Structures are given as C-alpha cells and as structure tokens.
Structure 1
Amino acid sequence: MKLDVVTFGESMAMLYANEYGGLHKASTFSKALAGAESNVACGLSRLGCLTGWVSKVGDDQLGTFILQELEKEGVDISRVIRAKDGSPTGLLLKSKVEEGDPEVTYYRKHSAASTLAPADYPSDYFRMAKHLHVTGIPPVLSKNMREFAYLAMKDMKQAGKTVSFDPNLRLSLWPDRATMAHSINELAELADWFLPGITEGELLTGEKTPEGIADFYLKKGVSFIAIKLGKDGAYFKTKHEDGYIEGYHVENVIDTVGAGDGFAVGVISGVLDGLSFQGAVQRGNAIGALQVQAPGDMDGLPTREKLASFLSRSKVIHQKKGEC
C-alpha cells in the first residue's frame, strides 16, 4: 500500500445542537465526526489524496460510528486499534452560534485514544506515506500519546519524509503556558512545515509580528512556516521567500471550528501537488474560507471540483501542477 499522507490522534463522536444558544438550552442534537487529525485526513481524501489515520477507539457503538464515517470518506483505517480494556470512545457536545466560536464540552478523559502508546506505533505503515501531519492535541492528552508523537515525527524524518505540524493549542488541557510552549516548540523542531495561528505564534514565542514568529522557527530548523491571520489571510516564510497572502471574503460565517484544519488540508495538498509555497498557502486560505461557511467541523471541506469552482468565482489564479 502507498499513502500520500498519514496522521494520528483522537477522533470523537460529536453531538451538535440544532438550536441557537447555550448547551443547557438545546433539546435536540445531530451527530457527526470530530477531531482535528481526522478532519485533515477526510479533507485530503476528498481532494484525491491517499490518506491513512491511526488511533485507538473504544469497542463501543461510538467507536464503530467513527470508523464507519472515516471509511465513507475513503480514509484508510486498517491500523486503527479497537480497545478491549473498556476504554471508551470520546464524545463532545457543541452549541450552535450565530457568530463567533461555539461552546464545546468534552467527555474524553481516559478515552481509548489517550492510551495510544509507542508500542502501538506501526513504523512500516507510516513509512508507506510521503508525508506525516501532526497536531499539538495528542501530546497533551496523555504521556503515552506525547511519546507516540515524538516517535512518529522522528521516525518519519529519519525516513526522509516531510512532516507538518499544526500546534492546535488547547490552553485548558496544559498545566501552564510555559509547559505548553516548551513542549510544542520541541515538537515544532521536528517538523518541516509549521502552521500556527497568529495568536498561537505569539503565545509560543513571545514575538508580536508574523515575521518575528516565522524567524523564531526558521532558526529552529523549520523550513516553511505558514501563519494563519483569520480573515486577513496568512503570512508565509521560508529561507528564500516570504509574503502575505490575502484571505477570501466570506459573507456568512456559520462556524469557525475546522477552519485551521481546512487551511492545513490546502497547504499540505498544495505542496504535494507541486504548487509553490505561495500557491499552497493560497489554497489553504480558500479551503479555510469554505469551511467556515458550513455547520460541522468538516462539512465545508471541498472536493477538487468544488474547490476549483470556488477559486474561479473568487478570481484567484490557481496554478495546478499535479495531484496527490
């Protein structure tokens, strides 16, 4: 088997409210798949990339739901482990908002995914892929997952593969900001491509500008940094070039969750397709804009046809050189 991209992490069943307001007011919910890494895996699969996702899920109905949803999306789940020790699949509840970020409540403590450990690492499977995508969520969920993340990134680098890292900070899960910054920055040094948001970059480095944040990571050995600037687009920098890439105007922002994952999908697929870093960031901006116009965490992630239609309407030149 050959893969374009492999990733790992925790996916959860998500119940999202059908009525506006706080979760305590909601009376009906719809069910969907949630999880930053599986969002990216599904988004890449929709663009035609061969993608694999590795994790543990509970030997329960929610675990079955997650695996079925990923199979529907064309994501390879052949190395996912069903936990036999009673560890449950994670669950989250999400409110419905008219603007801004929704309220999210997690039920993931001692979940099956949090027990994913270095002993579970399938090096042969990971090395089938051209690229590894990692986020900062698994390392904070448990010591086992943190060690798994280090092992995966080091192994793929040693194999000559590229590695992208989205810090995806969850401040409430870390003991303090200093520990978070130290841990995330250690992992960033193992990445080729680093994809923080501007606020995340400030928290992690103390720098106040995109240029300063980018320089911080270039000095640590990262070769390509793309910093998300929300509605203002993104800034990118390598050793040889840098620039601001404008964002896309969105009339109706429905849900901001998943926008960063959409950006990662665009950047990763763009680079693998042979686009320039500028073109890849431009694609990231486009997919992020599409995602915020949809209610679910990945409902807005497009197929190639939908992406091409959006780009043509937005009058942005899309220099496609190939496909995953």
Structure 2
Amino acid sequence: MAHIAAIGEVMVELSPFPVNDANGRDVMALSFAGDTYNTSVYMARLGLQTDYVTQLGDDPYSARILDAMKAENISTGFIKQLPGRSPGLYIIRNTPDGEREFFYWRKEAPARELFSNPDTTRELTEKLSKVNCVYLSGITLAIIGEEGRKALLQVLPQLREKGVQIAFDSNFRPRLWADRQQAQQAMRDILQFTDIALLTLDDEDLLWGDDSVEGCIERYKDVAIKELVLKRGASDTIIIQQGQQTRVPVPPVSNIVDTTGAGDTFNAGYLAGRLNGLSPVDAAKQGTRCAAAVIRHRGGVIDKAVFHKEIQG
C-alpha cells in the first residue's frame, strides 16, 4: 500500500445551526478541518496509508482531533503534542446572500512551530524519508513562517534524494502573508522541489494577477515539475507533462450545496489515484468524482458512507 504524509494544520471548526436556541443564542456545531487535513481524510478513505504531520496541544480538543484522525484511519505517529497549548479555531458565519465568511483565531496554534526546532526537524525528516509521497500546501508554507520555510527547503531535497515524491497545492490565502511578493517567492521556492503541482487558476489569479493557462506554463517553465495539474472549477482540468497538455473534462454537477473543500478533495482523489497506479487522466477523473460528491453536501468533510456511495454511484 502506498504511503503518504500530509503536512499542515487541523483546526477546531464552529459552524452555525440554521436556528437559535430558546433564548435566541447562536447554536454552533463543532468539528475539525484544515486544507491538508481534509485531503488526508479522503486519501485514507480511498485506500492510501496516510499520516498527518502537525503539532497540537495537550488539551481536550487536541485529544478529540487525534481521535477523529484515528477514526478515519489516519496515522498520528508524526504528530507532536506541546504541553499547555491548544489548536487554532475558526468560526463560519452565514451571510444574508447565502455565502459563508470565515473568522480565525490561530496565531498561537502549535502547528505554526513546525520546522522551528532543529532536533525535531531532523527526527521528522528521518520519518518522512520512509514514505512514498509528502503533500503540503501554500497554507502550510504561510503558517510556519520564514524560518520554518527555510528549514523546510533544506528538508525537501533530502527527501527527494531518498525517492520521496513531493506534491504541492499553492492554496493562496492573502491574509496569511505579509504581502503578495512574500507569497510569490515562497511558492516559487517550494515548486523547485515539487514533483506533482496541483494548482487552481483562481489562486494563480490572486497570486500573480493572471489566470491564463499559458501564463501559468510560462511562470513555471524553468521549474522541473513532473506533473502540473491545473484545476479550473467546472472547466476541463489540464495536465501538463513534458510540455504536453492533456484536457480532462469535468462533468456538470447538479444540486450543488457547498463548494468548500472541493479542491482539497480533488487533490485526494488525484494523489490516491497516482500513488495507486492510475494514469494522470484516470487520477484526474477520480479527483473530479470525489470533488463532485463533496460539493453536493455541506462541509469540507462529509459522512464517510455518503462519500463512498456518491463516488461509486
């Protein structure tokens, strides 16, 4: 069984119920989410041996996060718990026009200290060298800060020398960066060591002011990415290998409820497919099926039985 490790942050999520309690107070549902965590859930469901790499606290909510991972068959052996700390938190607010707003409390989250300790980083690098693939995102890069990114850039080439593939989704969130220039440099640095790049053209537009396929190819022409996968929402997915483009149609989806996590879920389907021996085209088709299942339901992580029924139907 192929083995993947995803690096990032999992947070406590509070989302509103449609009705208040008897005293008019908001009623919130508690769950756990994060971009690479969401991907890890679906990769595990699709049969990959999946580890999650993060730092948590020793509080009750960190314990519940670990329990949630174990329930999803996500291994927790790469996770370090820091005494006296607790994970980040975000609240979802439904706006009158049906959209959703996100409010974060994450500045003190222990995940931000990933790769900040040389001894811990050496230990983690040794563990990561034994997996088939390491997956991370632009959010991972943002939260670990400049020093963490410098350490990570020393780790990735060591892993590739051991035959570990690196998969990366830019997942650009402007509020997490000092400015666009800082984010641009960090993304270009990481893509130098990336085998599979899973990019969304909406993010490319936010980051570079250009959402064209040609512009994306030009930007990364000097970066030795083996597979450049361009996600374009309802439009064809484009896979670029050795300068050749392949378009994979995205079937229309009816009854869309919530597009949160669609990209994360596509990534899970694609990476699970590739690591389990599917061609890039068939892996993209699997990623599209997974994303289509998720957007027909509310939340980034949907019920396991519902997910399997949807992708098999």
Q: Flag whether TM exceeds 0.5 (same fold).
A: yes
Q: 1:194 is matched with which residue?
A: 197
Alignment deviations for residues 108-130 of structure 1 (CA, whole Å, 9 cap, x no partner): 01111112225323123212211
Q: 2:136 is matched with which residue?
A: 134
* SS of residue matched to 1:297: coil
Name the aligned partner's letter for residue 283 of structure 1: Q
Q: 1:268 to 1:76 in 2, by over 3 A?
A: same
CA separation in 1, counterparts of 2:233 and 2:126?
A: 38
Q: 1:109 is matched with which residue?
A: 107
Alignment deviations for residues 186-238 of structure 1 (CA, whole Å, 9 cap, x no partner): 11121011111112223445544213313432431111111111122411111
Alignment of 1:117-266 (within 5 A): 117=115, 118-119=117-118, 120-121=120-121, 122-143=124-145, 144-205=147-208, 207-239=210-242, 241-266=244-269
CA separation in 1, counterparts of 2:226 and 2:182?
A: 24
CA deviation after TM superposition for structure 1 residue 70, in Å: 0.5
CA separation in 2, counterparts of 1:259 and 1:97?
A: 20
Alignment of 1:285-324 (within 5 A): 285-299=288-302, 305-306=308-309, 308-310=311-313
CA separation in 1, counterparts of 2:231 and 2:8?
A: 22
Preserved CA contact (<8 Å) 1:93 1:104: yes
- Give the gaps of 5 or more residues in structure 1: 311-324
CA deviation after TM superposition for structure 1 residue 283, in Å: 1.5
Name the aligned partner's letter for residue 106 of structure 1: Y
- Asked if residue 60 in structure 1 is aligned to residue 59 in structure 2, the reply is yes
Preserved CA contact (<8 Å) 1:19 1:26: no
Preserved CA contact (<8 Å) 2:46 2:269: no
CA separation in 2, counterparts of 1:149 and 1:258?
A: 25
CA separation in 2, counterparts of 1:305 and 1:98?
A: 33
Worse-matched range after superposition: 189-198 or 234-243:
234-243
CA separation in 1, counterparts of 2:95 and 2:303?
A: 17
Q: 1:10 is matched with which residue?
A: 9
CA separation in 1, counterparts of 2:182 and 2:32?
A: 30
Name the aligned partner's letter for residue 12 of structure 2: A
Preserved CA contact (<8 Å) 2:6 2:52: yes
Name the aligned partner's letter for residue 102 of structure 2: V
Q: 1:55 to 1:82 in 2, by over 3 A?
A: same
Alignment deviations for residues 58-81 of structure 1 (CA, whole Å, 9 cap, x no partner): 111111111110010000001211
* SS of residue matched to 1:10: coil
Q: 1:106 to 1:238 in 2, by over 3 A?
A: same
Q: 1:7 to 1:192 in 2, by over 3 A?
A: same
Alignment deviations for residues 279-316 of structure 1 (CA, whole Å, 9 cap, x no partner): 11121122111111121212167789536523xxxxxx
Aligned length: 305
CA deviation after TM superposition for structure 1 residue 146, in Å: 2.4
- Give the gaps of 5 or more residues in structure 2: none
CA separation in 2, counterparts of 1:265 and 1:290?
A: 13
Question: Percent identity at matched positions?
Answer: 23
* SS of residue matched to 1:69: helix
CA separation in 1, counterparts of 2:310 and 2:224?
A: 32
CA separation in 1, counterparts of 2:283 and 2:221?
A: 18
Q: 2:272 is matched with which residue?
A: 269
CA separation in 1, counterparts of 2:34 and 2:75?
A: 16
CA separation in 2, counterparts of 1:301 and 1:185?
A: 36
Q: 2:69 is matched with which residue?
A: 70
Q: 1:133 to 1:142 in 2, by over 3 A?
A: closer
Alignment deviations for residues 242-270 of structure 1 (CA, whole Å, 9 cap, x no partner): 12222132222222111111011011011
Q: 1:219 to 1:205 in 2, by over 3 A?
A: farther
Pairwise CA RMSD of aligned residues?
A: 2.5
* SS of residue matched to 2:259: coil
CA separation in 2, counterparts of 1:242 and 1:26?
A: 53
